[in-house]
Amino acid sequence: DAGITQSPRHKVTETGTPVTLRCHQTENHRYMYWYRQDPGHGLRLIHYSYGVKDTDKGEVSDGYSVSRSKTEDFLLTLESATSSQTSVYFCAISVEQGAKEQYFGPGTRLTVT
């Protein structure tokens, strides 16, 4: 299994509070991704990173920001959590862009009340 961990694995928070999710990899892969998974929508890309300090927006980036100060860590921040951000969040990594496998972390279940 690829060395990807996510923390926390579960979190309940209140509307309006900031939340940061962490993805940590030990594979030294260049590309990292944050997805959210919701019933009826499947997985959708929030943000991705193609190197340290290099990030870009995905399909559903509104309300989220990311940072990558080290190769191994990719942080997803909800500046002011809303109930619509209740979801399961998956991090994924890839050794390079293009037609290469992505390896997924175990997921973080976030509930915003």
| Beta bridge mates, 35 | 45, 90
Beta carbon nearer to another protein, 31 or 64: 31
Residue 11 or 50 with smaller CB distance to another protein? 50
Six token digits for residue 89? 């969040």
Q: Which residues bind another protein (CB under 8 A)?
A: 31, 33, 35, 40-45, 48, 50, 56, 58-59, 88, 90, 92, 97-104, 106-107
CB of 5 to another protein, least distance (A): 12
Q: Is 51 left (phi over 0), alpha (psi -120 to 50) or beta?
A: left
With respect to another protein, which residue has the nearer C-beta, 9 or 80? Answer: 9
Q: Tell me the CA distances in angstroms from 69 to 11, 50, 53, 55, 58, one per residue in order.
A: 24, 12, 6, 11, 19
Nearest to 23 by CA among 88, 82, 90, 80: 90
| Closer Cβ to another protein, 14 or 96, answer by number | 96
Measured distance CA(35)–CA(90) in Å, rounded: 5
CB of 112: closest distance to another protein in angstroms?
19
Minimum CB distance to another protein, residue 43 (Å): 4
| Shortest spacing between CB 10 and another protein, in angstroms | 11
